[in-house]
């Protein structure tokens, strides 16, 4: 409304006559208008305005709570990821983090790890391992020809730790995977419940990667996988932890049987029997190493799937040729004897030539010489050879092969899942 229109309204107002002049009426109107405006400002907000204000306050509160929850969840996820990374490092002794050891916590991480440099460069900003990249990391570790050249210190300790270097830098990949399997088993017994599924998954990865190694050994440079398997079993027998190795092998065998598309199970395991055949054929009865290899064979003949392969393996190529039988693995074992390999040739013969005409002192000296051949700590006291072997081998050929016959019978019984007599258990 313009000033002119306002003046006209006041002048036409009949109550304007109560004022002394039109200017007084206009002044009064202006004062009233200002007072009304002030009163309006002092009045409480309308219900709608009040609701809007409360709503805005609640929205701000909800936003703050949401931010706190997100921050808390983020901290939880970071903590869990850190724990998973440390667990993977402890099991597989590998890392993507080559930062200064003084900057690392040192709590829950191994002292030495293999640094996977190429993978770290590929992942750029990510210097931690998780369940999405651990399988790639394991494969990269298995392909390293000399992992010892990639070792880095994970802690600030300057103490020389040869055991940690040996474990992390293990060059034989079959032995490495077995050790990872053992470390994963230990983690399963120690980790909190939220990490348990990841520990189990790591354990399964050791089995699946071992299966891959056996199925495609040709892709791993300078690695004789089957030799490593036999050596691992031999070491376990001598070190009294054979059950741990067989537990690992049972799971690997089960994994191999699930999918035989690349190679059949016999194709995978026959090279193991080839190695045993090559090693056993040159051994003598007095060598304790022979009995360690027989322990390995006894395990294979007790394991139903391996026993089937063993029965096929010991079949001669030409059944009509009797000499072919002694060239099989079982035939080589039965052919081991204290008799002269060539009648009349006594050179390099390691047994008693004329025991009945030797003095007790001479026999003891010869026994001592024989017992020095490849003895292992697991044998507390060597057997009395005068009881194990006949005094006159050339006169008692049947007795000289009795031990071999027992060994063959044991192998045959186990391969056919027959129960042994209690005194052979």
Q: What is the pLDDT of residues 369-404, one digit of tens each?
A: 666 544 433 333 333 333 333 333 333 333 334 344
Predicted TM-score of the model (pTM) = 0.69
pLDDT tens digits along 218-276: 999 899 999 999 999 999 998 888 999 999 999 999 999 998 888 999 999 999 999 99
pLDDT bracket for residue 364 (50, 70, 90): confident
Q: What is the pLDDT of residues 185-202, one digit of tens each?
A: 999 999 999 999 999 999
**Per-residue pLDDT at 56:** 57
User: Over the stretch 300-311, which tens digit does the pLDDT of each residue have?
Assistant: 999 999 999 999
Beta bridge partners of residue 94, listed in sequence order: 114
Across 362-367, average pLDDT:
74
Q: What percent of the chain stands above pLDDT 90?
A: 44
Report the candidate in 238, 143, 251, 163 with the shortest Cα–Cα distance to residue 204: 251
Mean pLDDT of 210-219: 95
C-alpha 373/C-alpha 272 separation (Å) is 25
Distance CA 210, CA 204 (A): 10
Please, what is the average pLDDT of the chain?
77
pLDDT score of 14: 56
**Alpha-helix residue ranges (DSSP H) falling in 129-168:** 134-143, 162-168
Judged against a pLDDT cut of 70, whether residue 118 lies above it is answered with yes
pLDDT band at residue 365, thresholds of 50, 70 and 90? Answer: confident
Q: What is the pLDDT of residue 80?
A: 86
Q: What is the C-alpha separation between 253 and 58, in angstroms, rounded?
A: 62
Q: How confident is the model at residue 96 (pLDDT cuts 50, 70, 90)?
A: very high
Q: Is the pLDDT of residue 168 over 50?
A: yes
DSSP 108: S
Q: Region 104-133: what's the mean pLDDT?
A: 87
Please give the pLDDT value at position 423. Answer: 32
Strand partners, 115: 95
pLDDT average, residue stretch 123-131: 88
pLDDT for position 415: 43
Q: Could you tell me the pLDDT band of residue 73, with boundaries at 50, 70 and 90? A: low
287 Cβ contact list (under 8 Å, min separation 6): 373, 374
pLDDT of 413 above 70: no
Burial 31-64 (b: 16+ CB within 10 A, else e): eeeeeeeeeeeeeeeeeeeeeeeeeeeeeeeeee
pLDDT of residue 167: 94
């Amino acid at each position: 409304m313009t000033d002119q229109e306002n003046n006209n309204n006041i002048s036409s107002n009949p109550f304007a006559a109560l004022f002394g002049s039109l200017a007084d009426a206009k002044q009064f109107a202006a004062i009233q208008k200002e007072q009304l405006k002030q009163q309006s400002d002092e009045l409480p907000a309308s219900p709608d305005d009040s609701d809007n204000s409360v709503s805005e306050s609640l929205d701000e509160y909800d936003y703050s709570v949401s931010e706190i929850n997100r921050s808390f969840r983020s901290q939880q996820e970071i903590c869990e990821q850190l724990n998973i990374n440390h667990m993977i490092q402890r099991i597989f002794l590998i890392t993507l983090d080559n930062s200064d050891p003084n900057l690392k916590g040192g709590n829950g991480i191994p002292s030495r790890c293999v640094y996977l440099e190429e993978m770290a460069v590929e992942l750029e900003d990510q210097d931690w391992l998780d369940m999405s990249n651990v399988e790639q990391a394991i494969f990269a570790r298995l392909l390293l020809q000399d992992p010892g050249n990639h070792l880095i210190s994970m802690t600030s300790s300057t103490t020389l730790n040869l055991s940690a270097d040996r474990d992390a830098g293990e060059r034989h990949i079959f032995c490495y995977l077995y050790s990872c399997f053992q470390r994963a088993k230990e983690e399963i017994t120690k980790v909190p419940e939220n990490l348990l599924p990841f520990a189990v998954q790591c354990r399964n990865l050791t089995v699946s990667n071992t299966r891959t190694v056996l199925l495609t050994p040709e892709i791993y440079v300078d690695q004789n996988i089957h030799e490593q398997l036999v050596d691992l079993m031999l070491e376990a027998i001598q070190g009294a932890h054979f059950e741990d190795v067989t537990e690992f092998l049972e799971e690997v065998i089960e994994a191999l049987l699930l999918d035989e598309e690349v190679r059949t199970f016999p194709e995978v395991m026959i090279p193991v029997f080839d190695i045993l055949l090559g090693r056993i054929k040159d051994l003598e009865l007095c060598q304790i190493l022979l009995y360690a290899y027989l322990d390995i064979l006894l395990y294979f003949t007790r394991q139903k799937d391996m026993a089937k392969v063993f029965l096929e393996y010991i079949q001669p190529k030409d059944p009509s040729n009797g000499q072919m039988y002694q060239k099989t693995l079982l035939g080589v074992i039965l052919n081991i004897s204290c008799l002269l390999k060539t009648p009349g040739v006594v050179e390099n013969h390691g047994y008693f030539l004329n025991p009945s005409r030797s003095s007790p002192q001479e026999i003891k000296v010869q026994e001592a010489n024989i017992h020095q051949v490849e003895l292992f700590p697991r044998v507390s006291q060597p057997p009395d050879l005068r009881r194990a072997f006949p005094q006159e081998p050339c006169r008692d050929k049947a007795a000289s092969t009795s031990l071999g016959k027992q060994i063959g019978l044991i192998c045959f019984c186990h391969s056919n899942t027959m129960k042994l007599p209690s005194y052979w258990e």
